[in-house]
Amino acid sequence: MSLMDPEQPRSEAIGEAGGGRASWAYEMLHDAIREGSIEPGQRLMELEVSAWLKMSRTPVREAMRRLQAEGMLEFAPGGGMSVVLYELRAIDEFYAMRERLEGTAAALAAQNADATELHILSATLDAMRALPAEPKMHARENQVFHEQIYRAARNRFLLKSLQSLLNFVPLLGPTTYNAPGRIEAALAEHVQIVDAIRARDPAAAEEAMRRHIRHSHESRILVVSDSVRNAMQKRTQRLGDKPEGAPFRR
């Protein structure tokens, strides 16, 4: 898959300090992984990343080591690193933790959300209703929705834990909104969550959120299964050839 080039060699705009260059390289790689431009299992070679970002290898190496320390990259057979690709057991572990943490966040939001936060949640629902049936667009708005609930919970430690956990969502594969009927089902589940939060009912909010995450887990399994089948078909068709224009190896 081809990645979008940075609009210009921004390494000149961020100064000569290695730390600034490394931080920018980290943000670019992190965003590309989160947005799916760099896919789970995709190999990243230091030299190729340097060419993509138009900077020297030293800050790129530092950025890649930082992503490795955070669990987003791992050493790849034959050299370089690759984006971590989680197996089904890890996906189960992820959703088990997410269900508990997000359920707690929804319960706390029902207790602590102020009028402005409730208004933002309702406005986010309206925005999602207005979106076309395009999975990536719904996935981006879904992230906004969930992060608003985290903030409304008013617990800094829970917020930090959830933000760290959600860094790993892109490593699970394509968005769950690719599953048949998931766009409509997720919106209905979001409405139930917001209704419970607005009603100041922590138990109902927690249960609605936990049910929502369980359904998301089920959709994830469907999407991952389809993704594996499609990837096998593409590998067979390509016979190992590198896709034209791809900046990184698979």
CATH number assigned to the domain comprising residue 217: 1.20.120.530
pLDDT for residue 227 is more than 90: no
pLDDT for residue 169 is more than 80: yes
Are both 221 and 98 inside the same structural domain?
yes
Residue 53's nearest CA partner among 103, 4, 20 is 4
Mean pLDDT of the chain: 86
Domain count, the chain: 2
Are both 54 and 75 inside the same structural domain?
yes
What is the predicted pLDDT for the residue at 72? 87
Flag whether 46 is in a domain.
yes
Q: What is the pTM of this model?
A: 0.71
Output b/e per residue, 190-207; b: 16+ Cβ within 10 A: bebbbebbeeebbebbbb
d(CA 74, CA 83): 6
What is the predicted pLDDT for the residue at 11? 41
Flag whether 139 is in a domain.
yes
State which of 50, 67, 85 marks the end of a domain.
Answer: 85
Per-residue pLDDT band for 19 (boundaries 50, 70, 90) equals low
Q: If you average pLDDT over each of 37-46, 50-59, 186-195, 233-242, which comes out highest?
A: 186-195
Q: Which amino acid is at 209?
A: M
Are both 224 and 139 inside the same structural domain?
yes
pLDDT for residue 53 is more than 70: yes
**Segment among 64-68, 144-148, 226-230 with least mean pLDDT:** 226-230
Are both 66 and 127 inside the same structural domain?
no
Are both 25 and 56 inside the same structural domain?
yes
The boundaries of the domain holding residue 101 are: 88-229
Per-residue pLDDT band for 89 (boundaries 50, 70, 90) equals confident
d(CA 225, CA 202): 35
Flag whether 37 is in a domain.
yes
Are both 94 and 81 inside the same structural domain?
no
Are both 81 and 92 inside the same structural domain?
no
**Segment among 22-26, 170-174, 191-195, 204-208 with least mean pLDDT:** 170-174
Strand, coil or helix: what is 38?
coil
The larger pLDDT score, comparing residue 174 to residue 210, is at 210
| CB contact set of 73 (below 8 Å; sequence gap of 6+) | 44, 64, 67, 81, 82, 83, 84
pLDDT for residue 4 is more than 70: no
